[in-house]
Chain A
Amino acid sequence: MTTRNKSHRGQQFGSLKIAVATGSLAAALLGTQLLARQDAAAATAVSQQETLTIQVPADMPTTLNTSPAGLSGSGVSNQRQVTLDLQPIPQAAVPQINAAPSVVRMAPLTQTRSSR
């Protein structure tokens, strides 16, 4: 029993590793796409108003059930569509640097002092 359980767990962790690796790859691809879209935006772009929806195939589990039941059940599903609703990414706008208010510097014309 112990040997069989260890073997079963080993298989599950193997699947998990694959799922994590695949997930990382998918996230990297996702990030690349987003960066590409940002680069395409004008340099002075203002923040996007619409929500960006990206559908990507994912081989990773959406949940990781670590309970004994989960480990023994079908907790890992493959070839699922994951829909990510991403909030608009604030775009870097060209900073509006206003010139500092001009400071008038001049020597005093006269001075106040005790009577003399």
Chain B
Amino acid sequence: MSATITCPSTTFRAMGCQIELWLEADEVTAVAAFDAVEKLFAENERALSRFSPTSELSRLNGRSGEWTPVSDLLWDVLEEALIWAAETDGLFDPTCLNALEAAGYAVSFEAMAAAQVNGRSQTQYALTGQWSSIQLDPAHQAVYLPYGLRIDLGGIAKGYTAQQAVDLMSPWGACLVNAGGDLVAGAAPQNLPGWPVGIARPSADGNADNALSLWLENAALATSGIDYRRWQVNGRAAHHLIDPRSGLPAITDLLTATVWAAQAAEAEVRATTSLIMGQQRSLEFLENQPHLAAVLFNTEREMTLTTNVSRLAI
């Protein structure tokens, strides 16, 4: 039996990447929903981007050493990031911004590519455990960053917004969001077990073949990788995934790690930490997590699947 999905879709740019939406609804409803989601991404980017000097996040980063009241959005995303930092024993660390900029990722990736910007010297920022020094005051919804500490909410902010978009569209119908390669799905389209989605092979350019296909329903699929966003620093390869233990771009035998989870934030965090841990350790960890499924590509471009992937495969 072959099937096709014919439902309204749209695409736009936000948060430094391409956003795609699908909604199983009539055209008029879909256009209204897409408009609301596009506004949501724009608002969240204005608040959470580290590249915009006027964003709420940049203002918070500029006020380290003092208590700063924050919006509901920044509070929620920061709180989620700190929960995952604790959950991963600091392997996921939102305080990596200084290290990331030292590695050369000081402007958006598009700007880096356009200006052929290379990184500064690889100054080493010891990050271990810095996330735990951030203080939250729920009574006043205020945040205290120790002096000089700056945070980046890049991946988790994107996943959070994609999840919000699905929550926003779901009352109208089955929906799917692709936020720069991170997928979040609502209910399955009619007569299908889920949204048919592919997992890309590592690729240094814009196009990537699908290695395999999965059904995605009420779940998220996130990929972290060093196959694309990489550059040279003093003649040495660098990338955007900082290992908090060293404060430097992670030395890993993985090119990409894709993780399936019920929520976007967990998929995003597990994909990032898998890449930092490397193939053997991440496989050992992931196989013991029955609520997760993962697809890993190592530097030899060999694919490894965790056992749970077979449940989702098309």
Contact = CB atoms under 8 A, between A and B. Distances in A.
A104 B188 CA distance: 14
Given A102-B1, A106-B3, A116 B197 contact: no
Q: Is the interface of A mostly helix, strand, loop or mixed?
A: loop
Residue among A106, A108, A114, A116 with the most chain B CB within 10 A? Answer: A114
A113 interface: yes
A112 B17 contact: no
A114 B18 CA distance: 12
A114 B227 contact: yes
A62 B52 CA distance: 104
Residue among B16, B155, B314 with the most chain A CB within 10 A? Answer: B314
A17 to B, nearest CB: 66
Given A116-B17, A116-B181, A108 B225 contact: no
B117 interface: no
A115 B2 CA distance: 31
Contact of A108 (B3, B198, B224, B227): B198
Interface string A80-109: 000000000000000000000011111111
A3 interface: no
A112 B227 contact: no
Given A103-B1, A105-B314, A110 B183 contact: yes
Contacts of B183: 110, 112
**A interface, size bucket:** 10 to 19
Given A104-B1, A105-B2, A109-B22, A114 B199 contact: no
Given A102-B1, A104-B1, A116-B17, A110 B228 contact: no
B279 interface: no
Given A114-B256, A115-B155, A115-B180, A108 B213 contact: yes
Given A115-B229, A116-B180, A116-B229, A110 B20 contact: yes
A110 B178 contact: yes
Nearest to A105: B2
B223 A112 contact: yes
Contact of B181 (A103, A108, A113): A113
Contacts of A108: 196-198, 210, 213, 314
Interface string B222-255: 1111111100000000000000000000000000
Interface stretch (B38-46, B119-127, B200-208): B200-208
Interface string B75-100: 00000000000000000000000000
B121 to A, nearest CB: 25
B228 A115 contact: yes
Interface of A: 102-116
Given A106-B2, A115-B228, 5 more contacts: A106-B196, A109-B195, A112-B182, A112-B222, A115-B225
6 contacts: A103-B1, A104-B2, A105-B314, A108-B196, A108-B197, A112-B178
